[in-house]
């Protein structure tokens, strides 16, 4: 799960332009929080956001990769954020809000 210093600065800078995102080290990668809700992961210099059935459509339409800590697990909980979205603060903010909302919905179901 390593994250290079350059990717960390680039990704967090872009996210901060969209929303106040907090990050914490996590097994060599980063855990991302929006309004206190864990909703994203940076792994191998790639940014993945929490999804659910309600929010996954735009990721699937763009063919974005899924992330899983265990390749044997078939459930997809995170998908990679498209680079063009990351570079558009207004659009990125909407995707971040949707990811936070997906995380809240998933937690409520448990």
Delineate the domains of the chain, giving CATH numbers in brackets.
5-109 (3.30.1460.30)
Structure tokens at 72: 């044997």
- Residues 57 and 7: their CA atoms lie apart, in Å, by 26
Residue 1 pLDDT > 70, yes or no? no
By percentage, how much of the chain surpasses pLDDT 90?
Answer: 82
Q: What is the CA radius of gyration of the chain?
A: 13
Residue 4 pLDDT > 80, yes or no? yes
> Tens digits of per-residue pLDDT, 17-52?
999 999 999 988 999 999 999 999 999 999 999 999
Nearest to residue 50, comparing CAs of 70, 72, 86, 79?
79
> Tens digits of per-residue pLDDT, 67-82?
877 777 767 799 999 9
Mean predicted lDDT score pLDDT of the chain: 92
- Residues 83 and 96: their CA atoms lie apart, in Å, by 13
**Dihedral over Cα of 88, 107, 41, 29: its sign:** positive
């Amino acid at each position: 799960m390593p994250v290079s210093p350059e990717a960390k600065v680039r990704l967090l800078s872009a996210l901060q332009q969209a929303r106040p995102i907090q990050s914490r080290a996590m097994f060599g990668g980063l855990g991302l929080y929006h309004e206190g809700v864990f909703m994203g992961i940076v792994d191998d210099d790639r940014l993945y956001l929490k999804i659910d059935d309600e929010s996954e459509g735009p990721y699937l339409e763009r063919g974005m990769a899924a992330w899983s800590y265990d390749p044997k697990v078939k459930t997809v909980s995170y998908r990679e954020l498209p680079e063009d979205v990351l570079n558009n603060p207004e659009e990125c903010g909407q995707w971040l809000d949707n990811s936070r909302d997906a995380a809240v919905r998933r937690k409520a179901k448990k």
